[in-house]
Structure 1
Amino acid sequence: MFLKQSIVIVVFFTLLFSLTVLATEKSSENGGDIDSINIEDDQEIINLKKEIEEKNKEDYSKVVSSTIYFLNGEKTDVRTSETNLGNLIADAILANIEADLAFINSKGINASIDRGLITKGDVLNVLPSKDRVVVKKIKGADLLKIIEYSLSKYPDAEGVFPQVSGIKIIFTQDNTSQNRVLKVWINDLLLEEEKYYLVATNDFLAAGGDGFETFKKAKTIQEGERLDQIFIKYIREKEIIKSKVTGRIIPVSTYKNYFVYEVKKGDSLWKIASKFKVSIDEIAEVNSIKNKRLIYSGQNLLIPNN
């Protein structure tokens, strides 16, 4: 694969060089005045230009993977909630580099991917900015500040909303609350404010972009590959994508010492218990549920905040 990509790059620059040489020759013929060249009237240059464009089209149309699900990168969704595409991109980062978690802003996700074959062009539509992955060493207390800031605009569809891997976040939907983050687990362990974590992000956030100044102040441990290249490599190895929303970022209300969770389509008591790291019996008891298989979308459940 590396050889094929190298050939494409060599061909592209060879054609580009030829185009430049031709333009220079035409400039000489016109007394060195390159502005007097009408490229559209020169068939040889037009043909080379078309050849370069066709090579680009051929490269963009290369199939890199396939998906049985619609991969959701819609602006109104990816900037207000966890999505399967956001999960997939964050998972790709964490699989590629040594870190405890991956954390990116949803602003960098610019499109969805339909069910079926995935081309390189699809990936570049999703991730057009060519960001590189950067690993930062961040204290738990500062990581909490980053998470708080990323959720501060919710429920407005803002680009600071996170997409993550290796971390689970429970936060309150109450936008009047000063502290919206209620609970955070990193790799199934509760976040410790005095502990340091390796956080993989994009270079835009690492430089303090979108107001993430805490990232900028943190020590840089490693700089990695471009995010679009990492993503292509990851989904190519997967061959068939089955990415789903798994409950990494969970909005709730609160009541006394309970979380109030609204049941979503496809939920079960087992899934909900797993999301909140409590037992099915605890949820059933608090909510007086006799038939543990019978819950419905839109139902509000009290979840013990153990």
Structure 2
Amino acid sequence: MNQINIQFLNGQMIGLNFAHIFMTDNLEEDPAVANLIQHYSDQIDDKMKEVVGHTLTDLDGERQTVRLKESNLANAIADSLIELTGADIALQNGGGVRASIAKGDVTLEDIYAVLPFDNTVVMVEASGQTIWDALEHGVSSYPEAAGGFLQVSGLQYTFDAAKPSGSRIVEVLVDGQPIDKTKKYKVATNDFLTGGGDKFDMLKNETTQLLKTKHFLRDAFTEYLENHNTINPQLEKRIQILNP
């Protein structure tokens, strides 16, 4: 906790300073402060229980799913990135999806549990080769449940788990056609990946930023649910694994 002191002269601020106030159990509780905190805590609790949409099926965000194979929940999250940005494709790291959602009402509390990190949505321009390289990196640790395993929208990819790391991707399709490695695509993703997180250096160094939003991933997914009201995402063979 900080205390800020602001100095004024003739109605104009002329300076400020601050100091840390260390909170310990030895400090006597101020009832007024406790009541104020409880007031806002109750408001936050009420807000988090708001229903923002509905799902007709269980949404699978379990670690052993999102980091190893296609997830219907991650599909919907990736779809929300395309809907927000108008991108051609979307890439979402499985490690950013942290919980499942049961069939029925979906609340803000559910969405915060699924997407707890403050990663913002960005759109970059990337070549087909860079996208291929990103997908290759995403499956490099398989069958280890690595956070960099990529969930997708707008494309399908197939990899052969029996091949050595670095040469596992065997096919990438965009609109049902083989990806053009020389073509530039608009890619919606998050600033963790474009910042080189999980060693996705190609998304940091070999792309051009087109859009940096102020939307966190959970904001994009919340708006997606609000816009559609009811969703029923399925497994669509976006990710196919040979020799698992």
- TM-score under structure 2 normalisation? 0.86
- Cα distance in 2, alignment partners of residues 130 and 65 from structure 1: 21
> Which position in structure 1 is the counterpart of 2:109?
121
Q: Is the 8 A contact 1:170 1:250 kept in 2?
A: yes
2:209 aligned with 1:220: yes
Q: Deviations over 1:167-186 (max 9, x none)?
A: 00011121436411111111
Q: CA deviation at 1:227?
A: 1.4
- Cα distance in 1, alignment partners of residues 136 and 202 from structure 2: 11
Query: Structure 1 residues 41 and 241, CA, compared in 2 at 3 Å: closer, same or farther?
Result: same
2:141 aligned with 1:150: no
- Cα distance in 2, alignment partners of residues 191 and 111 from structure 1: 32
The one-letter amino acid paired with 1:233 is: E
Instruction: Give SS of 1:210's match.
Output: helix
- Cα distance in 2, alignment partners of residues 33 and 246 from structure 1: 53
- For the pair shown, the structure with the greater C-alpha radius of gyration is 1
2:97 aligned with 1:109: yes
- RMSD between superposed Cα atoms in Å: 2.2
2:160 aligned with 1:169: no
Number of residue pairs the alignment of both structures matches: 225
The one-letter amino acid paired with 2:38 is: K
Query: Structure 1 residues 128 and 195, CA, compared in 2 at 3 Å: closer, same or farther?
Result: same
2:156 aligned with 1:131: no
> Which position in structure 2 is the counterpart of 1:229?
219
2:226 aligned with 1:242: no
Match of 1:89 among 56, 74, 77: 77
The one-letter amino acid paired with 1:174 is: A
> Which position in structure 2 is the counterpart of 1:24?
none
Q: Deviations over 1:18-70 (max 9, x none)?
A: xx89xxxxxxxxxx996699765321111111101101101111110111211
Q: Is the 8 A contact 2:66 2:94 kept in 1?
A: yes
Q: Is the 8 A contact 2:136 2:166 kept in 1?
A: no
Q: Is the 8 A contact 2:190 2:217 kept in 1?
A: yes
Unpaired runs of 5+ in structure 1?
1-19, 22-31, 254-261, 263-306
- TM-score under structure 1 normalisation? 0.69
Q: Is the 8 A contact 1:73 1:110 kept in 2?
A: yes
Q: Is the 8 A contact 1:40 1:46 kept in 2?
A: no
**Match runs of 1:1-306 below 5 Å:** 41-176=29-164, 178-217=166-205, 218-224=207-213, 225-253=215-243
Q: Is the 8 A contact 2:141 2:165 kept in 1?
A: no
Q: Which has the higher contact order (CA 8 A, sep 6+)?
A: 2
- Cα distance in 2, alignment partners of residues 188 and 198 from structure 1: 17
Instruction: Give SS of 1:41's match.
Output: coil
Q: Deviations over 1:145-203 (max 9, x none)?
A: 11100011111111010110000001112143641111111122210111111111100
> Which position in structure 1 is the counterpart of 2:14?
none
- Cα distance in 2, alignment partners of residues 35 and 137 from structure 1: 47
- Cα distance in 2, alignment partners of residues 93 and 180 from structure 1: 26
User: Higher strand fraction: Structure 1 or Structure 2?
Assistant: 2
Query: Structure 1 residues 33 and 70, CA, compared in 2 at 3 Å: closer, same or farther?
Result: closer
The one-letter amino acid paired with 2:56 is: I
- Cα distance in 2, alignment partners of residues 66 and 111 from structure 1: 16
User: Higher helix fraction: Structure 1 or Structure 2?
Assistant: 1
Instruction: Give SS of 2:159's match.
Output: strand
Query: Structure 1 residues 88 and 34, CA, compared in 2 at 3 Å: closer, same or farther?
Result: closer
How much identity, in percent, do the aligned residues show?
32
Q: Is the 8 A contact 1:39 1:46 kept in 2?
A: no
Q: Is the 8 A contact 1:154 1:175 kept in 2?
A: no
Unpaired runs of 5+ in structure 2?
5-18
